[in-house]
Chain A
Amino acid sequence: MKITIQHLTKRFGATTAVNDFSAEIQSGELIALLGPSGCGKSTMLNMISGILPVTEGKIFFDEEDVTDLSPEKRGIGLVFQNYALYPHMTVLENIAFPLEIKKVKRAEREAKAKEMAKLVHVDMLLDRKPKQLSGGQQQRVAIARALIKNPRVLLLDEPLSNLDARLRIEMREEIRRIQTETKVTTIFVTHDQEEAMSISDHIVLMKDGFLQQVAQPQQLYDEPVNCFVADFLGNPPINKTHGVIQNGQLVLDGGCCVTLDKAAICKEGQKVTLSMRAEAITVDENEKNAKGIIEETYVMGKEVLAYVLLGDYKVRAYIPAEKEFTKGQKVNIGLKKRGVFLFDDETGERLA
């Protein structure tokens, strides 16, 4: 089912948590709502679920306006950050609870609950109480409870934040698997870019209540629309340098001159931000985009992480392990086409 969000705004008193947010989510996709803490992504999710009323704007499920519908009437399944499994009920009762409310007959709802339990692989734990389950198992039960109503949308609030590192990877693959099997449109909230990159079809990136970009993970990484998006994605973080365009060349703070084709579209004297991914920087004799000084090298096994001084900036670059550089050595720096971005210094908008 397609979700359309139009000019959605949420204010809490004087603070605006979500600001004029518009986006379209295609049917059957797994969407990550990504952003740093406090960017309004959970608020966004709660508005889609109907737990929070919206201040302005509209939400459509397909063609139906659900803006003023209460959560139970929207046909959503919601998985809470702490799972919110009812502690006095067994796993089976927990999963069957939404059907119990709908007054589905006992035999029928238990059969359905068992089917759901099988889907999420907790069918051997049906008689346990939530307290007797591990975090990952609780998560699975919570997903089963959310899915039993055949929801139009499955919403997950920070589904992996309460799990340890190994379980996190296992569970994110499970979420992907369950989503693929049920084909339900799914939105999950996360602040972890790796989580969002690895399993989602599209990422919705937010900052301070504003939508930054909606794109496929790889596209988001390769073609960020602004400086924040480029900063937020990638590990190690992108190298960010500032400079001025002079004579068609970019002069970084500290006097380092960078030859860039992309600089041609900029105005003379314009202040810009040059962001470079570590893998986009080459340290080579032949290429001559700029000159730098090796500051430090760290051996990582298959490659070497080098800190290179470009003017006032220390940038990270990956260089092949077979090359040897000494500290203080002057080197030629090359920049690949992919992973090098120019942003306007003031607005942060992408220039090239």
Chain B
Amino acid sequence: MSTQERKKSAFSLTVMRIKAEPFLYLAPFALGILVFTLYPIINVFLMSFKENFNYITKEFSGWGLGNYQYILKDPYFIQAFKNTFFYVFIVIPISTCLSVVIATLLNQKIKFSGLFQTAYFLPMVTSTIAVGLAWKFMFNYRSGVINYLLNCFGFESLNWLQVTTYNFPALCIYGIWAILPFTIILLLSGLQNIDPMYYTAAKVDGAGPIKSFFRITIPLLMPTIFLVLIINTISTFKVFNELFPLFNGPGVSNNLFTVVYYIYYQFRVKMPSKYGYAAAAAVVLFLVIFVFTMIQRWIEKKTKD
């Protein structure tokens, strides 16, 4: 009997092996994602609903929305939220416009364009903290180069780092500077994907440089601009690092709280740590970023049609 049956079972075993093979190759990476990305995310999500959670003993008083109720009433959180929103709405438009202009200029056949490219990409390869310290000197009230320039143009010196009113502009300027190189690189690669024959055609049609920038460059660069907008919006919503080199924390009088700094503050600065509040703030931030990204994707699709 058995020759046929053996053949059949051997056959099905091969099939199983073939089916299982790709999963075997995927397993190491999937495991990494599972342990280091998925598990923490789910954990934070669950943690945000555990009231009076103690991270060491893993004890909590019960499930509920208490953490959310607390943070939404917390003036620090509300201020952090306002700051973050303002930061995003100032940094994103300015940095994107600046980057498009700079990338377009870098894309021209000019002398020393290599030198300019290196100069603009330098921030990317330097440490944020080290360069941030340089910025601290530049923002200095008495000896900083920024105030010197302001004086040159007839403006008065501003106390960027010690006065609450000027803290936020200083943070934005630094944030824009820090985000530029990455944005420029992406836009430059987008620009280089535009076939130069469109510019020749536009020139023959009589379009000058300004007209062809708005009618040819911008529309053809739109997919890259949207990509940059989405990536940068997500990253600027998470503004945090930028606080330390300039202010060693959230500004002179805690006026520069951002959402991520609030999260950090709840579980690291505050004693005893409030893990529940931190987790709830993280979930709120996630939802906000998610909604914004979806809106951007929707606009992108709309403009495409």
Say whether B220 contacts A72, CB under 8 Å.
no
* Residue of A51, A84, A100, A149 with highest tally of chain B CB at under 10 A: A84
Q: Mark B192-233, 1 if CB is under 8 A from A, else 0.
A: 000101101111111100010001100110100000000000
Answer whether A98 and B206 are a contact pair too, CB < 8 Å, given A82-B197, A86-B198, A86-B201: yes
B243 to chain A, nearest CB (A): 41
Return 5 A-B CB contacts under 8 Å, by A number.
Answer: A71-B203, A84-B197, A97-B205, A97-B215, A100-B215
Q: Does A114 contact B (CB under 8 A)?
A: no
The B-contacting residues of A in range 188-233, CB under 8 angstroms, are none
- Please report the number of residue pairs spanning A and B whose Cβ atoms sit closer than 8 angstroms: 49
Give the contacting residue for B206; candidates A49, A72, A86, A88; CB below 8 A.
A72
Chain B at the A interface: SS class? helix
Say whether B216 contacts A86, CB under 8 Å.
yes
Q: Mark B218-254, 1 if CB is under 8 A from A, else 0.
A: 0110100000000000000000000000000000000
A341 to chain B, nearest CB (A): 41
Say whether A80 contacts B201, CB under 8 Å.
yes
Q: Does A38 contact B (CB under 8 A)?
A: no
Answer whether A102 and B206 are a contact pair too, CB < 8 Å, given A86-B216, A88-B219, A88-B220: yes
Q: Does A8 contact B (CB under 8 A)?
A: no
Find chain A residues with CB under 8 A from B219 CB: 86, 88-89
Docked pose: A87 CA to B304 CA in angstroms: 11
Known pairs A97-B215, A101-B206. 12 more at Cβ < 8 A?
Answer: A71-B203, A71-B204, A72-B203, A72-B204, A78-B201, A80-B197, A84-B198, A84-B200, A86-B201, A86-B219, A97-B202, A100-B215
Say whether A98 contacts B200, CB under 8 Å.
no
Residue tally, chain B, CB below 8 Å to A: 17
Docked pose: A352 CA to B200 CA in angstroms: 47
The A-contacting residues of B in range 56-83, CB under 8 angstroms, are none
Residue tally, chain A, CB below 8 Å to B: 21
Find chain A residues with CB under 8 A from B197 CB: 80, 82, 84
Docked pose: A71 CA to B204 CA in angstroms: 5
Closest to A73 in B: B206
The A-contacting residues of B in range 139-192, CB under 8 angstroms, are none
Give the contacting residue for B207; candidates A76, A82, A101; CB below 8 A.
A101
Docked pose: A198 CA to B260 CA in angstroms: 73
Find chain B residues with CB under 8 A from A51 CB: 200, 203-204
Find chain A residues with CB under 8 A from B211 CB: 101
The B-contacting residues of A in range 49-83, CB under 8 angstroms, are 49, 51, 70-72, 76, 78, 80, 82
The B-contacting residues of A in range 84-137, CB under 8 angstroms, are 84, 86-89, 97-98, 100-102
Closest to A77 in B: B204
Q: Does A41 contact B (CB under 8 A)?
A: no
* Residue of B201, B220, B222 with highest tally of chain A CB at under 10 A: B201
Find chain A residues with CB under 8 A from B198 CB: 84, 86
Closest to A74 in B: B204
Closest to B199 in A: A84
> Which A-B residue pairs are the 7 nearest by beta carbons?
A72-B206, A84-B201, A88-B219, A98-B205, A101-B206, A84-B197, A71-B204
B230 to chain A, nearest CB (A): 20
Closest to B212 in A: A101
Docked pose: A98 CA to B206 CA in angstroms: 7
Find chain A residues with CB under 8 A from B204 CB: 49, 51, 71-72, 76, 78
Q: Does A316 contact B (CB under 8 A)?
A: no
A56 to chain B, nearest CB (A): 23
A43 to chain B, nearest CB (A): 14
Docked pose: A84 CA to B196 CA in angstroms: 9
Docked pose: A49 CA to B207 CA in angstroms: 15
Q: Does A277 contact B (CB under 8 A)?
A: no
Closest to A146 in B: B204
The B-contacting residues of A in range 21-69, CB under 8 angstroms, are 49, 51
A186 to chain B, nearest CB (A): 16
B193 to chain A, nearest CB (A): 12
